[in-house]
Amino acid sequence: MVKALFFFLTIVFVIIGDQWSKLGIIAHFDYGESIILIRDFFNVTYVRNTGAAFGFLAAANPTFRVPFFLVVPIVAMVVLGFLYRDLPANAKWRAMALGLVSGGAIGNLIDRVRLGYVVDFLDFHYNTAYYFPAFNVADSAICVGVTILLLSTLTTKKETQNASSPI
C-alpha cells in the first residue's frame, strides 16, 4: 500500500506540476520570449522542442520522429510498470523514483499529443558563452528519478555484497 501511494501520488504531482507550469508559460509568454531571473545564469524562456532530451532527433524526418516519440514513452511506461511490480513492498524511494520517471514521461507525452512538441522553459547558462539546453518540470523529474534509481541500485548492491561476505 505504501509503495503504491508513493508511486501513484508522485506521478500525479509531477503531471500536475509539469502541465500547470507549461500552461503558464504558454499563457504568459510569446514563443521565444525570455525573462532574466538571475543575470548571466538563469532565464525563463519559452522554447518548443520537437526532439527528445537536448533536441535529440529534432531535425529528423517527421514521418519517423512523430511516431517514434509517441511510441517510446508508451514502451517506457510498460517497462516502468514491470519494474514497479517487482519492487519489494518497502521500496518507497524506488517507487517514488519510478513515479518521477513515469510522471515526467507522461507529462511530455501529453505535450506531444496535444501540441506536437514539448514546451521547455528553464534556461540555465553561464554568461553568454555556455548554455545548457532548456528543459521543463517533466525533464527534471525524469533526471531526479533516474538518479535516485541509480543510487538505490548501487546502495542495494553494496548492501547485498556486504551481507554475503564472510566475517
- Across the beta sheet with 130-131, the strand order is 34-38, 42-49, 118-126, 130-131
Point out the catalytic residue in the list 18, 111, 123, 139.
Answer: 139
pLDDT at residue number 54: 63
Which cell numbers hold the place of 167?
566475517
Query: How many other CB atoms sit within 10 Å of the CB of residue 24?
Result: 13
pTM (2 d.p.): 0.86
Mean pLDDT, to the nearest integer, of 80-109? Answer: 93
Rounded-to-integer distance, Cα 2 and Cα 90, Å: 7
Point out the catalytic residue in the list 18, 111, 120, 123.
Answer: 120
Q: Over pLDDT 90: what percentage of the chain? A: 66
Residue with the larger pLDDT of the pair 8 and 64: 8
Rounded-to-integer distance, Cα 77 and Cα 102, Å: 6
Residue with the larger pLDDT of the pair 161 and 24: 24
Kindly report the average pLDDT of the chain as a whole number: 89
Confidence of residue 99 (pLDDT cuts 50, 70, 90): very high
Please write the tens of the pLDDT for every residue from 24-82.
999 999 999 999 999 999 999 999 998 776 667 766 777 777 788 788 888 999 999 99
Query: How many other CB atoms sit within 10 Å of the CB of residue 133?
Result: 16
pLDDT at residue number 164: 53
Question: Residues in the chain, how many?
Answer: 167
Mean pLDDT, to the nearest integer, of 99-103? Answer: 97
- Cβ pair 22, 112 in contact under 8 A: no
- Cβ pair 138, 101 in contact under 8 A: no
The answer to whether 120 is a known catalytic residue is yes
The answer to whether 139 is a known catalytic residue is yes
pLDDT at residue number 66: 77
pLDDT at residue number 121: 97
pLDDT at residue number 37: 97
